[in-house]
Amino acid sequence: MELEWSKKRLIELVKKAYRGEVVLPDFQRNFVWARNDIEELICSLLERMFIGTFLIQRVNPSDVPFKVIPIEGADQINDNFDPKPEIIVLDGQQRITSLFYALYSPDIPLKNTTNPYAFFIDLRKLSEDNIEDAVFSWSKRWREYKSLMEGGENYLLEQKLLPLTVLADESSFWKSWYGKFRNLFNENDAQKIENYLKNVIDYQIYVLSIPLTEKPEEIAILFERINRTGIKLSIFDLLTARLYKFINLRTEWEKAFNEKYWLKRIAANDIKNTKIPYYIIQGLALSEDRSIKAREMIKIDSKILNKTSWEKAIEILENKILNRLFDISECGIADNRWLSYPSMISIWLGLFLKAEKGEVHIDITKINKWYWGVIFTERYSGSTETKQTKDFKDLVSWMTDSDNPPEVIRDIRNKLDIMKIDTKYPGSSIYKGVFNLLFRKGAWDFYEKDKIQFSAKDLEDHHIFPKKFLENKNVKVERDVVLNRTLILSSTNRKISRKAPSTYINEMMTIHGSEEKVKEILEKHFINEEMFEILKSVREDSTPDEIKGKFEQFTALRENLIKDEIRKLVNGKHSE
C-alpha cells in the first residue's frame, strides 16, 4: 500500500466537514474528548505545536467504499447538510471533531458533562503570552454565558473576549478584527494577538493519503492496526514514559487520587486532570532549586522524581497544604469554582519539602499574605513559570528575613490604594477572590438561615442591585461589576429576581425578625450600615437618576470595605 504525504490547512478540513465533504468511516469510535482536551488542542494550535499526523483516504463521492458518518454535529449545525464525501478521516477524528466543535458550537454535551460548551479566547491574556489561561470554555446553560451572549459584540469587545465560532468565517472575522478588536490594544500587543490567531487559521497538518484504488478491506485492516489517540502528549505523559523504570507515574497518580480526599478535590474529581500531578512534580523540582520551565522539566531525573519522593510529596500536599487551602477560615475556598490558581500548590509544596530537609522554617502567616497578594494582583494571569520561580525564591528568603518581602507583597501594598476592584469577568482571580472573602467571613444567605459555605454547590453570584430591576428602570451603570455581586442560594436569587433593593430588604427583615439581624447578615457581605440605608432607599418608584447615584455611592463604599479587608490580609498586625 503506497501512501502519499501532503500538508493541508486544518481549518479547511473542518469547513469541508461542515459541508459534508470530510466524513468518518462508520467503524470509527465515538467522539470522546473532554473540554480540557479541546482547550489543550486550541492552545497547541495557537503556539503552532505539532499535533500529530492525519491518515485519510480520498474517495469518489459517487462511489464511497464503505458506510460513512458525518463529523459529530455537522448535520445538526448545517441546515443544508448534504454529504458528498471527498475525504474519509481514518486517524485524526478526535482532533478534527474537537476543532469543529469549538468553531461551530453544536448543542452536544461533551464527555463527563450534561451540557454543551462554548469556547473562547481571552485576548488580554493572549497578549501576555499566557496561552493556557487565555483559552477557556463555558457551559451554554450557565447564566454567565447567556449574559455574555445577550450583550452582543459590544460586550465581547468590552471584555476583550473572542468566541472561537467567529473563526469559522475567516473573511467576516478579519473584517471584525481590523475594524474593532485590533483597536482595543496597542500596536505591539495587537500584532502579537494577530500572529497567534493566524497560527490557528493557517495551521497546516501533515497528511498521509491512501489512494482511491485501495480495497475497502485493506483500509479496515490498516485502521485496526492504528492505535493512536491523536492527543498531544503533555510533559506529564513524557515523564511517565521516560521514567517508567523508576516510577509508574500514571499508576501512582491514580492511587493518590483514589486515596486522598483533598487531592481529589483540587483535581475537581477528574482523574484525567494531569495538571495536578504535574504541579506536584514542579514542587519537587523547586525544592531542589531546579527550573520549572517546560524545557527543563522534561529533563528531571529519578534522583528528583522517584516512588519515595513522590509519596512524600503526596503526604505533605494532602496533610499540610490542601487541608489549609480548602480551609474556609484561611483561604475562603468552599468549592473548586472559586479556586483561582491551582498551580500555586507547586510553590507551597516546594517550601514544605525544603522544610522537611531543614533548609527553611515555615511561617504560614507569611505564606497566607503571599497567597492573598497573588490573588488580588492577578499574579498568575500572565506567563506563570518565571513568576512562580521568582515567588518561590522570594518566599524562601522571606521565611528568614522579614525585611525582604516578596515582590508580590510589595506590589499589593503599594498599589492597593489606587487599585480598582471593578472586574466583571467571573474567571478572574479578583472576582473569585472577593467571593473567597465572603466565605472567609462566614456570610449567610439573604433569606435562608444558614451560612453559604454549607450550600456551596447551589450558589449563584447575585446582583445586589438586581440586574433586571436596573434594566427595567433603564439605569445606565456597570451592573455586572463584582462590587454589585455577592453569593446567595440560587433559590433565593430567583425569589429576589427583579425586585427593588428596598423590597427584598423588607422581606429579609420579615424572615429574620429584625433590622439588626439583617444588618448583621449584610455586614458579612461587605455591606455596612450606611450601605444598608442606601439599599433601603432604592424603591420601585425611584427614578433612574436616583438609582444611578445610589448605585455608584454603594459600589464606592463597598470597594473601600473590600480593600480594607485585603489590606489586613496582606499586612497583618505587623508590617514587614
Q: For residue 93, what pLDDT band results from cuts at 50, 70 and 90?
A: confident
Residues 396 and 479 in one domain: no
- The set of long-range contacts for 183-187, using a CB threshold of 8 Å and a minimum separation of 24, is 184/123, 184/157, 184/160, 185/123, 185/127
**Separation between Cα atoms, residue 464 and residue 551, nearest integer Å:** 10
Residue 212: predicted pLDDT = 66
DSSP secondary structure code for residue 333 in this structure: -
Within a domain: 243: yes
Q: What is the mean pLDDT of residues 129-141?
A: 89
Q: What is the pLDDT of residue 95?
A: 92
Backbone angles phi, psi at 452, to 5 degrees: -65, -25
Q: How confident is the model at residue 348 (pLDDT cuts 50, 70, 90)?
A: very high
In a domain, 576, yes or no: no
In contact, 263 and 345? CB cutoff 8 Å: no
All three cell numbers of 247: 516510577
Q: Give the pLDDT mean for 427-442.
A: 94
| Integer Cα distance of 44 and 391 in angstroms | 27
Tell whether 212 and 174 lie within a shared domain.
yes
224 pLDDT higher than 70: no
Please determine, for residue 190, whether its predicted confidence score (pLDDT) is greater than 90. Answer: yes
Confidence (pLDDT) at 216: 56
The pLDDT score that the predictor gives to residue 60 is 86
Residues 276 and 196 in one domain: no
Residue with grid cell 472586574, as numbered in its chain: 423
One domain, residues 400 and 468:
no
Total H helices, total E strands in the chain: 29, 11
Q: Give the number of other Cβ atoms within 10 Å of residue 42's Cβ.
A: 24
Q: Pick the closest to residue 562 from 446, 475, 452, 481 (CA basis).
A: 481
Mean pLDDT value of segment 390-404 = 91
| Contact (Cβ atoms closer than 8 angstroms) between residue 293 and residue 278 | no
268 and 325 inside one domain: yes
Range of the domain at 390: 239-414
Express each pLDDT in 357-379 by its tens digit: 999 999 999 999 999 999 999 88
| Cell (9 digits) for 320 | 499540610
Report which residue type is found at 374.
V
Residue 219's pLDDT is what?
58
DSSP 140: T
Nearest-angstrom CA–CA distance, 571 and 441: 18
Residue 87's DSSP bridge partners are: 22, 58
Task: Count CB atoms within 10 A of the CB of residue 318.
Answer: 18
Give the residue from 166, 200, 225 where a domain finishes: 225
Residue 507: per-residue pLDDT: 97
What's the average model confidence in pLDDT over 14-42?
85
Count of domains for the chain: 3
474 Cβ contact partners less than 8 Å away, ≥ 6 residues apart: 544
Q: How close are the terminal C-alpha atoms of the chain, in Å?
A: 73
pLDDT of 231 > 60? The answer is no
- What is the pTM assigned to this prediction? 0.64
Query: What residues contact 195, with CB distance under 8 A and at least 6 apart?
Result: none
pLDDT the model gives residue 223: 52
Strand partners, 69: 24
Would you place residue 34 in the very low, low, confident or very high pLDDT band (cuts 50, 70, 90)?
A: confident
Q: Does 420 fall in a domain?
A: no
Pair 396, 255 in one domain: yes
Mean pLDDT for the chain overall: 89
Could you read off the pLDDT of 195-215 as tens digits, one per residue? 999 999 999 998 888 866 556
pLDDT of residue 1: 52
**Among 20-34, 235-249, 403-417, the range of highest mean pLDDT:** 403-417
Average pLDDT over residues 259-278: 92
The C-alpha atoms of residue 126 and residue 541 are separated, in whole angstroms, by 45
Residues 31 and 174 both lie in one domain? yes
Domain shared by 208 and 329, yes or no: no
186, 201, 225 - which closes a domain: 225
pLDDT digits (tens, 9 = 90+) for 503-545: 999 999 999 999 999 999 999 999 999 999 999 999 999 999 9
b or e along 525-561 (b: 16 or more beta carbons within 10 Å of the residue's beta carbon)?
bbbbeebbebbeebeeebeeeebbbbbeebbebbbeb
Closest CA to 305 of 328, 273, 281, 288: 281
The answer on pLDDT for 11 being more than 70 is yes
% pLDDT > 90, the chain: 65
Is residue 329 assigned to a domain?
yes
Amino acid identity of 158? E
Tell me, rounded to whole angstroms, the distance of Cα 18 from its chain centroid.
28
Residues 248 and 311 in one domain: yes
The DSSP bridge partners found for residue 136 are 120
Angle (CA) 510-514-517 rounded to 5° is 110
Q: 406-419: buried (b, 16+ CB within 10 Å) or exposed (e) per residue?
A: bebbebbbeebeeb
Domain end point (choices 390, 414, 438): 414
Backbone dihedral region of 326: left (phi > 0), alpha (psi from -120 to 50 degrees) or beta? Answer: alpha
Does residue 221 have a pLDDT over 80?
Answer: no
pLDDT digits (tens, 9 = 90+) for 467-493: 999 999 999 999 999 999 999 999 999
Helix or strand or coil: residue 419? Answer: coil
Residues 6+ positions from 211 with CB-CB distance below 8 Å: 2, 4, 58
> Which one-letter amino acid corresponds to residue 432?
K
Of 14-23, 351-360, 566-575, the least confident: 566-575
Number of other residues whose CB lies within 10 A of the CB of residue 457: 9
Looking only at Cα atoms, what is the longest distance across the chain?
A: 84
Q: Are residues 484 and 410 in the same domain?
A: no
Q: What pLDDT sits at residue 312? A: 97
Does residue 56 lie in a domain region?
yes
One domain, residues 254 and 144: no
What's the confidence (pLDDT) of residue 450?
92
pLDDT digits (tens, 9 = 90+) for 157-177: 989 999 999 999 999 999 999
User: In 3-state terms, what secondary structure has residue 53?
Assistant: coil
Residue 233 confidence class, pLDDT cut points 50, 70, 90: very low
Cell numbers standing for residue 180: 474593532
Is residue 198 domain-shared with residue 304, that is, in the same domain? no
In a domain, 230, yes or no: no
pLDDT band at 238, cuts 50/70/90? Answer: low
**Among the listed residues 306, 308, 310, 311, the one whose alpha carbon sits nearest the alpha carbon of residue 243:** 306
pLDDT digits (tens, 9 = 90+) for 308-342: 999 999 999 999 999 999 999 999 998 888 999 99
Find the angle CA(366)-CA(372)-CA(375) to the nearest 5 degrees.
140
For residue 232, being part of any structural domain is answered with no
Q: Is residue 462 part of a domain?
A: yes
Q: Return phi, psi of residue 89, to 5°.
A: -85, 115
Is residue 85 within 8 Å of residue 23, measured between CB atoms?
yes
